[in-house]
């Protein structure tokens, strides 16, 4: 696929890095010479120094011959305008990053699509959804639902109280009741392992599990965790992610939000009806004590500063808060934060990349997720008639060793994948894979 990415910021650079490993022809354009020079020193892709609002520069980037134009600059207006221009001069599909949630409403979205913006992405809304999702099951690091929750993927960190420690996958499966569960990956020492029967579980592993909803509590217990009821929530930061998170949570929880900027507090007060807004520093020990952090069930640090968020969550952990969520935009800090015991990590770059990446795939993809604190991706593919994946039982299909089929959704039925299962056309299949195997996996489904 021929792809043009406009904007060499964090999202554009991360996307270019991901897509350049998947046999795509990538052109990255930006008007900042320093950014372009930095990209050229890091990635083997074609770059264009120019403005994506200029038709001549877009033509220089061969947008008129491209399959996909992705506008992810820091300016919403430029992203929308350049997408319209790109569509007018011949690109097949456009995606624009936006900062206004109103544009995603049905009536407004329809008008933008008519003008040439095929898809819009608002990373802050997607990030807020992930924060809210993470509170559905305490004890887990990440949680993603497939087909309205028929199958659930979650990540769990193994500490000394896990019953499955030092047991192989075969031993754990036979000794414990794990019929509704499949362990699809293990992240150990910053490396992701696609496990098979002889692989064992070790202290500090982050394991990724696919399960039916009824199998979740059993797996939590085997990993030394338990489900906790959440009532009281503290949010640190008045960012757009924090605001959208508070708007959703205040309907069902007791929410307090800390923000140091008084003007932001006043603006938040206008939109948040049932959230207690505190003009103060969420890393201030005495203020946290004053606001009863000891009785807090979940602590969400969503400022724009990764270091502040990590520190705030460590303070919350010191006070005994069981569930912590930190927005960590610096990818280099993700492994550090995970190893420090911070619960869920939110990264807008990975979330945006997940949304956009599925538009580059030739197979029919329902969902695609770049997993935080892991090299791997998970996606939900639909098996096409006469595709290779439908020809034999899974044990005989010779599926790539760098990938794992976790579960199958057939109509209203959820199936945990086993060797003697055979996938049928129309099935939705949850696949966990390392980046090197994505193209190999796709070929099984088309």
- Looking at the fold, whether 424 and 314 belong to one and the same domain comes out as no
- Indicate the Cα dihedral angle 75, 76, 80, 86, nearest 10°: 30
Domain region containing 29: 2-121
Examine the pLDDT at 230 and tell me if it is beyond 90.
Answer: yes
- Looking at the fold, whether 8 and 111 belong to one and the same domain comes out as yes
Say what percent of the chain tops pLDDT 90. Answer: 70
Tell me what pLDDT residue 84 has. Answer: 97
In a domain, 338, yes or no: no
When comparing pLDDT for 254 and 369, which is higher?
254
Q: How far apart are CA 388 and CA 216, in angstroms?
A: 31
In a domain, 404, yes or no: yes
Return all residues near 183 (Cβ < 8 A) that are at least 6 apart: 169, 195, 207, 208, 209
Q: Summarize the confidence of residues 125-142 as an average pLDDT.
A: 88
Per-residue pLDDT band for 352 (boundaries 50, 70, 90) equals confident
Please state the domain count of the chain: 3
In a domain, 162, yes or no: no
Lowest mean pLDDT segment, chosen from 147-151, 374-378, 435-439: 374-378
pLDDT digits (tens, 9 = 90+) for 73-116: 999 999 999 999 999 999 999 999 998 888 888 888 899 999 99
- Looking at the fold, whether 115 and 8 belong to one and the same domain comes out as yes
Tell me what pLDDT residue 425 has. Answer: 96
- Looking at the fold, whether 23 and 65 belong to one and the same domain comes out as yes
In a domain, 136, yes or no: no
- Looking at the fold, whether 317 and 363 belong to one and the same domain comes out as no
Tell me what pLDDT residue 368 has. Answer: 81
In a domain, 247, yes or no: yes
In a domain, 80, yes or no: yes
Q: Summarize the confidence of residues 350-377 as an average pLDDT.
A: 82
Per-residue pLDDT band for 163 (boundaries 50, 70, 90) equals very high
Examine the pLDDT at 439 and tell me if it is beyond 90.
Answer: no
Q: Summarize the confidence of residues 284-290 as an average pLDDT.
A: 93
- Looking at the fold, whether 115 and 7 belong to one and the same domain comes out as yes
- Looking at the fold, whether 112 and 8 belong to one and the same domain comes out as yes
Examine the pLDDT at 362 and tell me if it is beyond 80.
Answer: no
Q: Which of 302, 321, 340 is the last residue of a domain?
A: 321
Q: Summarize the confidence of residues 178-202 as an average pLDDT.
A: 89
Per-residue pLDDT band for 178 (boundaries 50, 70, 90) equals confident
Say what percent of the chain tops pLDDT 70. Answer: 100
- Looking at the fold, whether 373 and 316 belong to one and the same domain comes out as no
Tell me what pLDDT residue 330 has. Answer: 87
Indicate which CATH number applies to the domain containing 291: 3.40.50.720
Q: Summarize the confidence of residues 316-345 as an average pLDDT.
A: 89
Q: Summarize the confidence of residues 222-249 as an average pLDDT.
A: 93
Q: Which of 300, 321, 342 is the last residue of a domain?
A: 321
Tell me what pLDDT residue 365 has. Answer: 84
CA contacts within 13 A on the Cβ side of 401: 3
In a domain, 245, yes or no: yes
Lowest mean pLDDT segment, chosen from 44-53, 223-232, 261-270, 399-408: 223-232
CA of residue 311 relative to chain centroid, distance: 22
Q: How far apart are CA 163 and CA 445, in angstroms?
A: 37
**For helices 76-88 and 106-115, what crossing angle results, to 10°?**
50
pTM, two decimals, is 0.88
pLDDT digits (tens, 9 = 90+) for 292-318: 999 999 999 999 999 999 999 999 999
In a domain, 378, yes or no: yes
- Looking at the fold, whether 435 and 363 belong to one and the same domain comes out as yes
Q: Which H, E and C letters describe the chain, residue by residue?
A: CEEEEECCCHHHHHHHHHHHCCCCEEEEEECCHHHHHHHHHHCCCEEEECCCCCHHHHHHCCHHHCCEEEECCCCHHHHHHHHHHHHHCCCCEEEEECCCHHHHCHHHHHHHHHHCCCEEECHHHHHHHHHHHHCCCCCCCEEEEECCCCEEEEEEECCCCCCCCCCEHHHHHHHCCCCCEEEEEEEECCEEECCCCCCECCCCCEEEEEECHHHHHHHHHHCCCCCCCCCEEEEECCCHHHHHHHHHHCCCCEEEEEECCHHHHHHHHHHCCCEEEEECCCCCHHHHHHCCHHHCCEEEECCCCHHHHHHHHHHHHHCCCCEEEEECCCHHHHHHHHHCCCCEEECHHHHHHHHHHHHHCCCCEEEEEECCCCCCEEEEEECCCCCHHHCCCHHHCCCCCCEEEEEEEECCEEEECCCCCCCCCCCEEEEEECHHHHHHHHHCCC
Q: How far apart are CA 216 and CA 182, in angstroms?
A: 11
- Looking at the fold, whether 13 and 114 belong to one and the same domain comes out as yes
Q: What is the mean pLDDT of the chain?
A: 92
Q: Which of 64, 95, 121 is the last residue of a domain?
A: 121
- Looking at the fold, whether 283 and 360 belong to one and the same domain comes out as no
When comparing pLDDT for 31 and 22, which is higher?
31
- Looking at the fold, whether 358 and 431 belong to one and the same domain comes out as yes
């Amino acid at each position: 696929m021929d792809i043009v990415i406009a904007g060499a910021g964090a999202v554009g650079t991360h996307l270019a890095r991901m897509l350049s490993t998947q046999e795509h022809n990538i052109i990255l354009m930006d008007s900042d010479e320093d950014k372009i020079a930095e990209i050229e020193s890091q990635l083997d892709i074609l770059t264009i120094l120019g403005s994506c609002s200029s038709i001549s520069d877009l033509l220089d980037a061969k947008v008129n011959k491209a399959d996909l134009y992705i506008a992810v600059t820091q300016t919403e207006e430029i992203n929308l305008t350049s997408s319209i221009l790109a569509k007018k001069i011949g690109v097949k599909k456009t995606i624009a990053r936006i900062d206004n949630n109103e544009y995603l409403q049905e009536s407004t979205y329809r008008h933008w699509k008519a003008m040439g913006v095929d898809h819009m992405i608002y990373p802050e809304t997607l990030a807020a959804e992930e924060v809210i999702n993470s509170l559905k099951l305490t004890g887990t690091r990440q949680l993603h639902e497939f087909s309205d929750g028929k199958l659930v993927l979650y990540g769990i960190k193994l500490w000394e109280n896990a019953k499955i420690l030092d047991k192989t996958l075969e031993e754990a499966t036979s000794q414990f009741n794990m019929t509704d569960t499949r362990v699809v990956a293990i992240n150990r020492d910053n490396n992701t392992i696609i496990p098979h029967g002889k692989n064992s579980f070790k202290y500090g592993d982050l394991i990724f599990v696919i399960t039916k909803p009824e199998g979740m509590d059993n797996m939590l217990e085997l990993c030394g965790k338990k489900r906790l009821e959440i009532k009281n929530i503290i949010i640190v930061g008045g960012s757009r992610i924090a605001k959208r998170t508070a708007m959703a949570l205040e309907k069902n929880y007791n929410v307090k939000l800390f923000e140091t900027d008084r003007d932001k507090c006043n603006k938040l007060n206008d939109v948040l009806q049932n959230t207690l807004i505190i003009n103060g520093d969420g890393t201030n020990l005495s203020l946290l004590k004053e606001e009863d952090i000891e009785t807090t069930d979940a602590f969400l640090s969503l400022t724009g500063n990764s270091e502040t968020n990590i520190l705030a969550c460590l303070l919350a952990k010191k006070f005994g808060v069981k569930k912590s969520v930190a927005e960590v935009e610096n990818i280099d800090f993700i492994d550090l934060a995970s190893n420090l015991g911070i619960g869920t990590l939110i990264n807008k770059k990975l979330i945006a990349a997940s949304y956009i990446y599925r538009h580059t795939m030739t197979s029919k993809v329902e969902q695609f997720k770049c997993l935080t604190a892991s090299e791997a991706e998970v996606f939900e593919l639909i098996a096409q008639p006469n595709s290779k994946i439908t020809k034999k039982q899974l044990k005989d299909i010779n599926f790539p060793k760098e990938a794992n089929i976790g579960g199958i959704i057939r109509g209203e039925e959820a199936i945990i994948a086993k060797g003697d299962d055979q996938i049928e056309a129309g099935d939705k299949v949850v696949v966990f894979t390392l980046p090197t195997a994505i193209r190999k996996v796709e070929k099984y489904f088309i």
